[in-house]
């Protein structure tokens, strides 16, 4: 049991006693804070609803930083990096959308899982040695550079990322990417507008 959590709950008696914990449950918390032994009946409370409440509060407090949970999960699979819309957003070019799919290029697994209301899509490749990867210093997540995102479209087959990438490249040019790609001219069909 997290001792700092118990100490914080005991110090906030006025807030938690009538709402979260019954007076009997609160006395058990006080005993736990003072490291006093619990009776058999009090231990039964800890295995019951009181224990469940404490685990629920711990879980809520632990999920304040979902990026660290994602980093922990991705670091378990070894070498990886995040590409696609999530990488574009991280690189500063995604202020107008919220990605629902996180595309992860890795060398071990293939498949999809749901993680915190987002779909994490794992795409397996043979090697990541020639990939351009940026590491976020705060979360320690690995992201693809803008040039690498364009190269990864061959693996991800995500046409929306390709369209968005080309729009960003056409708009920002060499600031966005060091690749030398022709920018396709968009022909405007004026008959659609009544001309």
74 and 128 co-located in one domain: yes
Q: Among 62, 80, 107, where does a domain finish?
A: 62
Q: Among 47, 62, 77, where does a domain finish?
A: 62
Q: Among 62, 82, 101, where does a domain finish?
A: 62
160 and 73 co-located in one domain: yes
- Classify the phi-psi angles of 76: left when phi > 0, otherwise alpha if psi is within -120 to 50, otherwise beta: alpha
For residue 31, what are the contacts with CB-CB under 8 A and spacing of at least 6?
37, 38, 42
181 is a domain residue: no
Asked if 108 and 77 touch (Cβ cutoff 8 Å), the reply is yes
Q: Is 62 helix (H, G, I), strand (E, B) or coil?
A: helix
90 and 102 co-located in one domain: yes
Asked if 86 and 102 touch (Cβ cutoff 8 Å), the reply is yes
The pLDDT of residue 161: 92
Domain assignment of residue 13, given as a range: 3-62
The pLDDT of residue 81: 93
Residue for token digits 């690189």? 91
Q: Which of 123, 32, 40 is nearest to 82 (CA)?
A: 123
Domain count, the chain: 2
Q: Which of 59, 42, 50 is nearest to 16 (CA)?
A: 50
102 and 131 co-located in one domain: yes
pLDDT per residue rounded down to tens, the chain (195 residues):
567 778 778 887 777 776 677 888 888 888 888 888 888 888 888 888 888 877 777 776 665 555 667 777 787 777 899 999 999 999 888 778 888 999 999 988 888 888 778 888 999 999 888 889 999 888 888 999 999 999 999 999 999 999 999 989 888 888 888 888 777 666 777 787 776
15 and 31 co-located in one domain: yes
CA distance 123 to 146: 18
Q: Is the pTM of this model over 0.75?
A: no
């Amino acid at each position: 049991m997290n001792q700092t959590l118990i100490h914080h709950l005991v110090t906030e008696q006025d807030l938690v006693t009538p709402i979260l914990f019954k007076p009997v449950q609160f006395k058990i918390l006080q005993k736990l804070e003072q490291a006093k032994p619990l009776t058999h009946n009090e231990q039964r409370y800890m295995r019951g609803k009181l224990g469940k409440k404490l685990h629920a509060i711990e879980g809520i407090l632990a999920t304040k930083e979902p990026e660290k949970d994602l980093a922990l999960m991705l670091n378990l699979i070894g070498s990886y990096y995040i590409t696609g819309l999530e990488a574009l957003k991280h690189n500063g070019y995604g202020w107008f959308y919220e990605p629902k799919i996180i595309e992860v290029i890795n060398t071990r697994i293939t498949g999809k899982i749901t993680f915190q209301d987002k779909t994490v899509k794992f795409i397996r490749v043979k090697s990541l040695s020639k990939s351009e990867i940026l590491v976020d210093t705060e979360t320690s997540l690995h992201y693809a550079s803008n040039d690498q995102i364009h190269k990864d479209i061959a693996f991800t087959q995500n046409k929306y990322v390709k369209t968005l990438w080309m729009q960003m490249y056409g708009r920002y040019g060499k600031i966005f990417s060091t690749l030398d790609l022709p920018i396709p001219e968009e022909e405007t069909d004026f008959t659609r507008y009544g001309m």
